[in-house]
Amino acid sequence: MTQILDRRSATEPAAREAGDVVRRARRAPIRHHRRLVAGLVLAVVAAFAARVLLGDYTVTIPDFFRILGGEQIPGATYIVMESKLPRAVLAVLVGIAFGIGGAIFQTTLRNPLASPDIVGVSLGASAAAVSAVALAGWTGWSVSLAAVGGALAVALAVRSIAGDHGGFRLILAGIGLAAAMQSVIQYVFTRVDEWDVQLVLRWLTGSVNGVAWSTIGVLAAVLAVLLPATAWAARSLRVTELGDDTARGLGVGTGRTDLLMLLGTLLVAVGVAAAGPVAFVAFLAGPIARALNRGRTTLLAAGLVGAVIVLVGDYAGAYAFADLNLPVGVVTGAFGAPFLLWLLARGPLNGHRGRRAA
């Protein structure tokens, strides 16, 4: 034993040198993440500007700020203030909510398939919201509350059906419940007298079209509370993502995970209440952000990626096809399905064990 000790102490670098190695090694991933976030913020700003200024009715930047300042420009003011701007603002807000909510699910359940739009949480929120709107005539805050109730009910049901096993059992239970929620939404539409395709699509696949400023205000107010709370609770994610046993060993009980899941459910629910269950945004944002961050978990980047997806999806849905105005959910759904297949083809789905594709 003394031999080993001698060998170690002879080759052991000086403590200061070791500290330098640690500091350097710690800095690289943090720096990369900072650059990534800065790049994504720029992408959100660019997509936002394109959504508001370009399209079938182009607005110049000076005109845009004049309109914001309250000036009335015939035609332009109405289009910007009642159509383009609210759509873009809502797209950013729900993109962030779905992106972060989805990444929380995927990370804490250690499975990219366990996103709220696949395990039925988003559709649960939608089913409750559409029932409240179409059958009971609710508006504003009460719709959000109904959505939260629906999302929580589905989340709890999935959890109790899946038990402690997680993994595929949870996914299967979730897919079953998602189908059930979809049929609830369809049932509601058979019970209302007046409905149109846009309304059905909105609650089935999501849309940021034609949403009142007051609804956007409610969403912004709720996010102003939820996002800082999430940022605080997510600090324990660094430890809980190591697995339950290791996390307990490091002094983090399962209560922290439950709290994060609750916040993720709330984020998704309030997003659904405002824009419907915009298909696959929660599912796509996390893995894309993770891939951009060299495989590492990042909720912040997931939120920004979500915002970019919804902005670009809405823009493409509105203008890509000459005489068609597709809701954003149709576009994101069309991109989400191949991504799902790619994820399945890529290999293991029960956890983040799979090596990143080069």
Partner 1 sequence: MTATATDPRTARLEASALTLGYTDTAVVRDLDLQVPHGKVTVIVGANACGKSTLLRGLARLLKPRSGSVLLDGEAIHRMPTKQVARTLGLLPQNPVAPEGVTVVDLVGRGRHPHHGAFGRWTSEDEQAVAEALALTDTLGLADRVVDELSGGQRQRVWIAMALAQGTDLLLLDEPTTYLDVAHQVEMLDLLAELNERRGTTIVMVLHDLNLSARYADHLVALHTGRIVAEGTPREVVTEDVVRTVFGLDNRVIDDPVSHTPLVVPVGRRHQLLQEDR
Interface contacts to partner 1, rule CB under 8 A = 1, 4-5, 8, 12-13, 15, 18-19, 21-26, 28-29, 238-239, 241-243, 245-246, 248-253, 290, 293-297, 351-356
Nearer to partner 1, 18 or 212 (CB): 18
Nearer to partner 1, 12 or 82 (CB): 12
Encoded tokens for 322: 């000459």
Rg (CA), the chain: 23
Nearer to partner 1, 55 or 354 (CB): 354
Nearest to 174 by CA among 153, 192, 190: 153
Nearer to partner 1, 31 or 191 (CB): 31
- In whole angstroms, the minimum distance from the beta carbon of 167 to partner 1 comes to 13
Nearest to 274 by CA among 145, 106, 119: 145
Collapsing DSSP to helix, strand or coil, 168 comes out as helix
- CB under 8 Å to 201, separation ≥6 — which residues? 207, 276, 327, 329, 330
- In whole angstroms, the minimum distance from the beta carbon of 95 to partner 1 comes to 23
Alpha-carbon span 271 to 181, nearest angstrom: 17
- In whole angstroms, the minimum distance from the beta carbon of 123 to partner 1 comes to 28
Alpha-carbon span 302 to 98, nearest angstrom: 9
- In whole angstroms, the minimum distance from the beta carbon of 12 to partner 1 comes to 5
Burial of 33 (0-12, 13-18, 19+ CB in 10 A): middle
Nearer to partner 1, 29 or 217 (CB): 29
- CB under 8 Å to 121, separation ≥6 — which residues? 105, 151, 154, 155, 158, 174, 265, 268, 269
CA 234-42-111 angle, 5° bins: 35
Nearer to partner 1, 24 or 165 (CB): 24
Nearer to partner 1, 62 or 251 (CB): 251
- In whole angstroms, the minimum distance from the beta carbon of 250 to partner 1 comes to 5
The values of phi and psi at residue 11, to 5°, are -90, -10
Nearer to partner 1, 166 or 206 (CB): 166
- In whole angstroms, the minimum distance from the beta carbon of 353 to partner 1 comes to 6
- In whole angstroms, the minimum distance from the beta carbon of 18 to partner 1 comes to 4
Alpha-carbon span 274 to 81, nearest angstrom: 18
- In whole angstroms, the minimum distance from the beta carbon of 236 to partner 1 comes to 8
Nearest to 288 by CA among 308, 315, 268, 267: 308
